[in-house]
Amino acid sequence: MPIPLQNDCFLRACLRQRTPHTPLWLMRQAGRYLPEYRATREKAGNSFMGLATNVAYATEVTLQPLERFPLDAAILFSDILTVPDAMGLGLSFGAGEGPRFAHPVRDEAAVAALQVPDLNRLRYVFDAVASIRRALVTRDAQGREVARVPLIGFSGSPWTLACYMVEGGGSSDYRLVKSMLYARPDLMQRILQVNADAVTAYLNAQVDAGAQALMIFDSWGGVLADGAFQRFSLDYTRRVVAGLQREKNGQRIPVIVFTKGGGLWLQELAGCGADVVGLDWTVHLGRARAAVGERVALQGNLDPMVLFAPPEVVAREAVAVLDAFGPPQRADGGWDGHVFNLGHGINQHTPPEHVSALVEAVHSHSRRQRQAPAKR
Amino acid sequence: MPIPLQNDCFLRACLRQRTPHTPLWLMRQAGRYLPEYRATREKAGNSFMGLATNVAYATEVTLQPLERFPLDAAILFSDILTVPDAMGLGLSFGAGEGPRFAHPVRDEAAVAALQVPDLNRLRYVFDAVASIRRALVTRDAQGREVARVPLIGFSGSPWTLACYMVEGGGSSDYRLVKSMLYARPDLMQRILQVNADAVTAYLNAQVDAGAQALMIFDSWGGVLADGAFQRFSLDYTRRVVAGLQREKNGQRIPVIVFTKGGGLWLQELAGCGADVVGLDWTVHLGRARAAVGERVALQGNLDPMVLFAPPEVVAREAVAVLDAFGPPQRADGGWDGHVFNLGHGINQHTPPEHVSALVEAVHSHSRRQRQAPAKR
């Protein structure tokens, strides 16, 4: 018998069900902007993978933002690139730099050698998921065991993984991966199919371990040309979504797909099988809702740089995002779904007290929105 | 009496008039991918600004791509950041790096000190324009003086200049400039107004010197949130466009506005007063034409990374872009305008012979398109 959720707003909004307020969580909410995160990371030898592969540390940092802020979901502390690391590509994070692969995939032989990794190499992730689920259990006012909030598992999309696997790290122009895509689409498609199979198995194993929602980060889908996006990013994301376990213990496992820079492809994203489409700050939430709000919930989309403005500006901009979506209840009595988030990961230099102002503004204004008469 | 153009396809397409083929030019067509450019740059002490400020060198490199490829327009060899350099911010280009300003604009005092620069400090640009116009003159088969192709002048948009002025160079997250935008919109608006006045005067002086079309590069408009884009980028671009001289010697001076990542704001861009809207590769040209093709011409939008594929793939992808737009003649007898271009500057590692394949494919396929019966 699973332990009931104390706060299920996030899951309900993902499924376009009534909620008392708009739930919010923040991409990269467990991260360097928190002094307590930096302290734990010190203990782990100042290594990102040292943190992510240690179940106790991963659990500790996952819960840190929840101690500070009344966020509506927890997200597994991990990286989008664990899968290619498990394929043997040798992931590392240099000091102050992005991810690097020691063995990038750049020729026919390297592509041919790629395989879906043994999931035992990702055991540390599943162990962390189970550990975090246990750590989220508390007791309510009546002394009953409850889980504070749901836990989100995640992975990079097949295309986004391929970008890093071919480039060997971040890139400003994606020259190597796009050269392969245009010159050798057969090689690119083999990489993407291996990635899709691996990501599907990886996310399902996270569900087995206890993940209650899944997010696919297609961080670099937006660098593709129209046409190439559909063929090399969205099509493989769709294959992953189609292979996911969507229910456990009678509870739907919502899937969120986020393509940064994907606003132009909103209609197609809404048809990829996900319950929720994540949006960056370039999209007007009201227009997005009008276009696809009856098919999927929307997640987003405050510019993370707003958090560098004074708290009153943070609050005002958060209200503007909520008002752009509008009150989620529709005139016909149904509900559309909005999960408040940033349009990208929170910046490491963000003042934590500005995050407090954000959470307070989202919760209080979204409660007020639900008092207003429903609009068409 | 002005010297007539031998090839006016580019100007005609900008103005949505009949053309025998789809004209093409390439952003950064005079650049490092050409060995002859690198040779001239060596002569100029391997300095970008050494090239740009020397009229003879600037003329030489502007014409280099036209000697290799039958391009339909020349573009002034210069940089988008000459205006803030003339304001005294101290522009430099490190080896293999992007632009840097020695004196970024980050506080109230620096903003208050900003002024529209004395245009005499940009004399080298206007002298280059006049020199290039002279260098473009040739004789036709009948021995008459003709100008080979029109010359495009350009500047960065007020917002894009502000990004570099505040950040002091390129940025991955635009934290400083967005912090100012959200925390001190009054300061940001003063920078943008000074920039708009300066860019307007600068572009009009380019027209006086002989520029036959103008392009405004809003390279970083696409990093702004919906709402902020309209207020801090588009509004100031519109002020510039409204202040431009649009006719000279009875010839319309077309204005092109290009917001990289601006596809979601196409309708608003089409209403900014420009004759042509530039698009990056994320936009489907056929859908863009259906939305705004009766109001503005469109420029774009091949992914520059396609040029790393074999020539036959380059040709196939160029045909796909032309076919996405469709034959420019409409069933009602009118013409919509398409200027073929990349969706961003050509990459420095591009093989020049792949550019030949591109130009050939665009010219030949677009001639074939004009043979086909017109479609609605």
Give per-residue pLDDT as tens, B184-198. Answer: 999 999 999 999 999
pLDDT digits (tens, 9 = 90+) for A307-316: 999 999 999 9
Sign of CA dihedral A193, A199, A202, A208: negative
Mutation pick from B220, B267, B282 vs chain A, by most beta carbons of A within 10 Å, is B282
Catalytic residue, chosen from A79, A85, A275, A336, is: A79
Strands B276-278 and B247-248: unpaired
What pLDDT was estimated at residue B94? 78
| pLDDT means over runs of 10, chain B (376 residues) | 93 98 98 97 91 96 98 97 96 83 96 98 98 97 97 98 96 95 98 98 98 98 98 98 96 98 98 98 98 97 98 98 97 96 97 98 97 62
Distance between CA atoms of residues B177 and B184, nearest Å: 10
Residues of A whose CB is below 8 A from B222: 282
Query: For residue A166, which of A108, A250, A247 has the smallest C-alpha distance?
Result: A108
Chain A residue at shortest CA distance from B283? A226
Residue B66: the pLDDT is 98
pLDDT score of A171: 92
Pairing of strands B151-156, B74-75: parallel
CB B307 within 8 A of CB B314: yes
Who among A179, A226, A303 is closest to B284 (CB)?
Answer: A226
Residues of chain A contacting residue B302, judged by C-beta atoms under 8 Å apart: 225
A79 has catalytic annotation: yes
Alpha-carbon distance B155 to B200, whole Å? Answer: 9
Question: Which chain B positions have a beta carbon within 8 Å of A283's beta carbon?
Answer: 226, 264
Q: Which residue type, as a one-letter code, is found at position B297?
A: A
C-alpha distance from B87 to closest chain A C-alpha (Å): 28
| Nearest residue of B to residue A179, measured between CA atoms | B308
> Nearest chain B Cα to A221, which residue?
B282
Determine the Cα–Cα distance for residues A227 and A178; give it in Å rounded to an integer.
Answer: 13
Cβ–Cβ below 8 Å for B303 and A228: yes
Cβ of B264 within 8 Å of Cβ of A282? The answer is yes
CATH number of A9-304+334-346: 3.20.20.210
CA angle B370, B375, B376 (to 5 degrees): 140
> Phi/psi class of residue A370: alpha, beta or left (left: φ > 0; alpha: ψ in -120 to 50)?
alpha
Interface residue ranges in chain B relative to chain A, Cβ cutoff 8 Å: 173-175, 178-179, 182-183, 222, 224-229, 261, 263-264, 281-284, 302-306, 308-310, 313, 317, 320, 324, 343, 347, 349
In this complex, do B309 and A261 lie within 8 Å of one another by their Cβ atoms? Answer: no
What is the structure's pLDDT at B374?
53
Given the residues A12, A41, A100, A148, select the one marked as catalytic.
Answer: A41
CA distances from B346 to B27, B28, B321 (A): 6, 6, 16
> Which residues have C-beta within 8 Å of that of residue B67, sequence separation ≥ 6?
B36
Q: Which of B182, B263, B309 sits opposite A308 (nearest CB)?
A: B182
Contact residues, chain B, for A226 at CB < 8 Å: 281-284, 324
**Residues ≥6 apart with Cβ < 8 Å to B361:** B314, B315, B318, B319
Catalytic-role residue among B41, B133, B238, B239: B41
CB contact set of A237 (below 8 Å; sequence gap of 6+): A157, A158, A159, A216, A218, A221, A257, A259, A272
* Inter-CA distances, A210 with A164, A204, A276, Å: 28, 10, 20
Smallest CA–CA separation between A243 and chain B, in Å? 28
Query: How close is the nearest chain B Cα to the Cα of A308, in Å?
Result: 6
CA distance A131 to chain B (A): 34
The residues of chain A scoring below 50 in pLDDT are 376
Distance CA B361, CA B49 (A): 34
Say whether B202 is catalytic: no
Chain B's closest residue to A350, CA to CA, is: B175
| CA distances for B117 relative to B122, B197, B236, angstroms | 9, 10, 18
- What's the pLDDT at A2? 84
In angstroms, the Cα distances linking B335 to A182, B15, B28 are: 32, 9, 28
Chain B nearest-CA distance from A146, in A, is: 38
Query: Cα distance from B232 to chain A (closest Cα, Å)?
Result: 13
The residues spanned by each domain of chain A are: 9-304+334-346
**Chain B interface, best mutation among A174, A282, A307, A322, by max B CB count within 10 A:** A282
Using a CB-CB cut-off of 8 Å, the residues of chain B touching A347 are: 173, 175
The active-site residue out of A33, A164, A202, A236 is A164
Query: Is A139 one of the catalytic residues?
Result: no
Report how far apart the first and last C-alpha atoms of chain B are (Å, whole number).
Answer: 40
Question: Considering only CB atoms, which chain B residues are within 8 Å of A304?
Answer: 173
Q: Is B226 a catalytic residue?
A: no
As a CATH number, domain B9-288 is 3.20.20.210
Asked if B284 and A227 come within 8 Å (Cβ–Cβ), the reply is: yes
| Interface pTM, i.e. ipTM | 0.95
Q: In sequence order, which ranges of chain A are alpha helices (DSSP H)?
A: 9-14, 35-43, 48-52, 55-68, 82-84, 108-113, 123-135, 158-167, 175-183, 185-209, 228, 235-242, 266-270, 285-292, 311-325, 352-371
**Dist CA A220 CA A164 (whole Å):** 10
Query: Do residue B317 and residue A179 have CB atoms under 8 angstroms apart?
Result: no
Contacts of A269 in chain B (CB under 8 A): none
B32 is catalytic: yes
Min distance A309 CA to chain B CA atoms (Å): 5
Q: With contacts defined as CB-CB under 8 Å, which chain A residues touch B228?
A: 303
Give the Cα separation of B51 and B44 in Å (integer): 6
Q: How far apart are CA B156 and CA B242, in angstroms?
A: 16
